[in-house]
């Protein structure tokens, strides 16, 4: 009976993810970040390291993982999107393990995973963000730490969370959190703490040595130390940004919003109860509180207020539902959960069904892929291409950006550009200076009147730009080729 129910919930989670995630696979770009990860990851194929000739503000292991995605899928963007769907499925299974660390069968152990999928159902959370990949390492680290059948689990737990920090540097808070959990659960606290530290630091030492012997240690220090510390100077008001998110979340789905409020209420209630009855604190719920606190610190110190910075919080917060210990509270949560599943599934079902039905033709309708096929004959690996908007074209053409900066939005972050200027990686008026070098292909919102003497505009009238990007911020496609 236990096995059948576990299988049922696993199948349900898979199809729930399928219904939600497949609804947007016909859109080529959901978020610029993923395009920047893909473009930067191609540096490995050229024998270079990230930050050596191309800069994107994430750690190098993330780009290596995206490089592996490209190899496995043969650079098929649709399949890379599907990998993210599978990643969400694995994360939901790991959350079941985290929810059931005592290995006692209880249907309520499956609820946090369902709620996590519902929390991340909005299109805000569909792209393959670095948070999801980091979360894979963090949740695996937690599961390993709680598994009594694994020898040297402190070391392996530290190693896994070390990988997390090299996919997203802000996850360093989870190193501290898991270190504390490891310490609290160890009989030999000194030895286990030592092995945890060795595990988490060893991968950092290895990566730094790779950069050092390649002769680009300075670039690594700039990207991994100098620029991240400059973020601390950014202005950020947590209450204001969380209020905006909660209002947007309520507009998305009232039932999912209600579940979120229930999770928050249970957490607050448990904190007050723990303060009142200090002797009856359950260690497991202390650990959940630590992971939630680390998730909140990640959001605060990210300093940008982007919704995807809340992914960690939305992953660990549903664990608080296990604090509901009365039949009435569980019945209320179950009703809200069923309504949330029904309404969210109804919203995404038609688009997902359409995409599954037309699966073979989805990638052929991607606008940038189509235009890249037209350019491929005149572009080789040495061609200078400057992209300042739809940078996915660089991925399809397999060429680096003519600028050291990959992600277009980074030009607007002085905490990044000032340090890059100090280290002579970019110049003042970077784009203007690059244009004076006459790249062969330009992509971006350039004024054609300023370019018409040297460039011709590529005709894109035959391309359906409805599938270019989801948020309709900029569905113009401007590509200029040197005469």
Mean pLDDT on 454-481? 85
Task: Check: CB of residue 111 under 8 Å from CB of residue 318.
Answer: yes
Whole-number pLDDT of residue 454: 85
Helices 2-21 and 327-357: crossing angle in degrees, nearest 10, is 50
User: For position 278, what pLDDT does the model report?
Assistant: 62
Cα–Cα distances in angstroms (integers) from residue 146 to residues 134, 141, 180, 320, 405, in the given order = 19, 9, 13, 18, 41
Which tokens is 476 given? 């113009």
The angle formed by the CA atoms of residues 459, 461 and 464, to the nearest 5 degrees, is 125
pLDDT at residue number 215: 94
Has residue 155 got a pLDDT over 80? yes
Give tens-digit pLDDT for 13-24. 999 999 999 999
pLDDT in tens, 390-439: 999 999 999 999 999 999 989 888 889 999 999 999 988 888 889 888 89
Confidence at residue 268, expressed as pLDDT on a 0 to 100 scale:
87
Residue written as token pair 């991925």: 395
CA R_g for the chain? 24
pLDDT at 301 over 80: yes
Please determine, for residue 473, whether its predicted confidence score (pLDDT) is greater than 80. no
Q: Exposure pattern of 422-436 as b/e (b: 16+ CB <10 Å)?
A: eeebbeeebbeebbe
Q: Say what the pLDDT of residue 471 is.
A: 84
Does the pLDDT value for residue 449 go beyond 80?
Answer: no
Give residue 415's pLDDT: 87
- Over 60: is that where the pLDDT of 315 sits? yes
**In angstroms, what CA-CA distances link 413 with 10, 225, 419?**
42, 16, 10
Share of the chain above pLDDT 90, in %: 66
Q: pLDDT-based confidence at 201, cuts 50/70/90?
A: very high
Dihedral angle at the C-alpha atoms of 274, 148, 173, 227, nearest 10 degrees? 180
Token code pair at residue 41: 């990851």
Residue 104 has pLDDT above 80, yes or no: no
pLDDT at position 270 is: 79
Closest CA relative to residue 11, chosen from 122, 110, 115:
110
Helix (H/G/I), strand (E/B), else coil: 70: helix
**Distance between CA atoms of residues 256 and 135, nearest Å:** 21
Q: Are 320 and 288 in contact (CB under 8 A)?
A: yes
Query: 158, 149 in Cβ contact below 8 A?
Result: no
**What angle separates helix 172-184 from helix 130-146, to the nearest 10 degrees?**
10
Instruction: Check residue 303 and give its pLDDT.
Output: 77
**Banded model confidence at residue 474, pLDDT cuts 50, 70, 90:** low
- pLDDT for residue 277 is more than 70: no
pLDDT on residue 445: 86
In this predicted structure, what is the pLDDT of residue 101? 66
CA distances (Å), origin 337, targets 262, 330, 420: 11, 10, 48
Which of the pair, 447 or 119, is modelled with greater confidence? 119
Are 170 and 176 spatial neighbours (Cβ–Cβ below 8 Å)? no
Structure tokens given for 238: 């947590």
* pLDDT at residue 450 is higher than 80: no
Please provide the DSSP assignment of 129-146 as one string. -HHHHHHHHHHHHHHHHH
Which pLDDT belongs to residue 100?
82
Least confident of 216-220, 364-368, 419-423, 458-462: 458-462
Helix or strand (DSSP H, E) at 395 = helix 392-397
DSSP three-state, residue 103: coil
Helix (H, G, I), strand (E, B) or coil at 29: strand
Concatenated DSSP letters for 223-254?
IIIIHHHHGGGS---HHHHHHHHHHHHHHH-H
What's the mean pLDDT in 146-152? Answer: 85
Which residues lie below 8 Å from residue 182, measured CB to CB, with a gap of 6+?
A: 145, 154, 157, 158, 192, 193, 196
Q: Which of 371, 398, 393, 386 minimizes the C-alpha distance to 465?
A: 371
Rounded mean pLDDT of 295-299?
Answer: 94
User: Taking 90 as the threshold, does the pLDDT of residue 304 lie above it?
Assistant: no
Quote the percentage of the chain above a pLDDT of 70.
94
**What integer best gives the mean pLDDT of the chain?**
90
pLDDT value for 372: 92
Domain boundaries, the chain: 2-30+76-356, 366-482
How many CB atoms are closer than 10 A to CB 206?
11
Q: Does the structure show a pLDDT above 60 at 136?
A: yes
Does residue 70 have a pLDDT over 60?
Answer: yes
Residue 279 has pLDDT above 70, yes or no: no
Asked whether residue 281 carries a pLDDT value surpassing 70, the answer given is no
- pLDDT confidence tier of residue 170, bands split at 50, 70 and 90: very high
Between CA 305 and CA 436 the distance in angstroms is 36
Other C-beta atoms lying within 10 Å of the C-beta of residue 16: 22
- Rounded Cα distance between 154 and 146, Å, is 9
Contact between 33 and 391 under an 8 Å Cβ cutoff? The reply is no
What is the pLDDT confidence band of residue 40, given thresholds at 50, 70 and 90?
very high
Structure tokens at 158: 């530290």
In this predicted structure, what is the pLDDT of residue 187?
A: 84
């Amino acid at each position: 009976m236990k096995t059948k129910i576990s299988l049922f919930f696993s199948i349900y989670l898979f199809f729930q993810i399928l219904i939600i995630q497949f609804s947007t696979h016909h859109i080529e770009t959901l978020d610029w970040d993923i395009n920047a990860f893909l473009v930067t990851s191609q540096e490995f194929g050229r024998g270079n390291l990230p930050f050596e000739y191309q800069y994107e503000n994430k750690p190098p292991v993330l780009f290596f993982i995206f490089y592996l995605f490209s190899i496995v899928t043969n650079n098929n963007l649709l399949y890379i999107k599907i990998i993210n769907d599978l990643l969400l499925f694995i994360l939901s299974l790991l959350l079941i393990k985290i929810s059931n660390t005592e290995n006692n069968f209880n249907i309520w152990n499956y609820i946090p995973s369902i709620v996590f999928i519902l929390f991340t159902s909005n299109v805000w959370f569909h792209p393959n963000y670095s948070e999801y990949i980091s979360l894979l390492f963090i949740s695996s680290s937690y599961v390993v730490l709680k598994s009594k059948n694994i020898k040297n689990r402190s070391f392996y737990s530290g190693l896994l969370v070390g990988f997390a920090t090299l996919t997203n540097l802000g996850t360093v808070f989870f190193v501290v959190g898991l270190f504390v959990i490891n310490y609290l659960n160890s009989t030999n606290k000194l030895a286990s703490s030592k092995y945890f530290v060795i595990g988490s630091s060893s991968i950092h030492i290895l990566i730094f040595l790779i950069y050092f012997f390649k002769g680009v240690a300075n670039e690594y220090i700039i990207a991994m130390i100098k620029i991240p510390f400059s973020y601390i100077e950014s202005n950020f008001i947590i209450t204001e940004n969380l209020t905006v998110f909660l209002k947007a979340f309520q507009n998305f789905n009232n039932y999912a919003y209600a579940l979120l409020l229930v999770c928050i209420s249970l957490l607050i209630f448990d904190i007050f109860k723990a303060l009142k009855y200090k002797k009856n604190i359950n260690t497991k719920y202390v650990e959940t509180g630590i992971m939630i606190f680390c998730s909140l610190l990640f959001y605060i110190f990210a300093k940008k207020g982007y919704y995807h910075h809340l992914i960690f919080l939305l992953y660990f917060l549903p664990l608080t539902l296990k604090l509901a210990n009365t039949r009435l509270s569980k019945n209320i949560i179950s009703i809200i959960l069923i309504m949330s599943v029904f309404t969210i599934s109804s919203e995404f079902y038609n688009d997902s069904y359409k995409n599954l039905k037309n699966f073979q033709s989805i990638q052929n309708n991607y606008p940038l892929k189509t235009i890249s096929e037209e350019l491929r004959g005149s572009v080789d690996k040495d061609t200078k291409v400057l992209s300042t908007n739809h940078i996915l074209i660089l991925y399809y053409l397999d060429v680096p950006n003519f600028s050291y900066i990959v992600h277009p939005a980074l030009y607007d972050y002085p905490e990044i550009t000032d340090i890059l200027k100090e280290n002579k990686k970019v110049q003042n008026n970077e784009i203007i200076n690059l244009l004076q070098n006459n790249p062969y292909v330009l992509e971006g919102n350039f004024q054609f009147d300023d370019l018409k003497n040297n460039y011709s505009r590529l005709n894109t009238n035959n391309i359906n730009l409805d599938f270019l990007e989801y948020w309709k911020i900029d569905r113009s496609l401007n590509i200029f080729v040197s005469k």
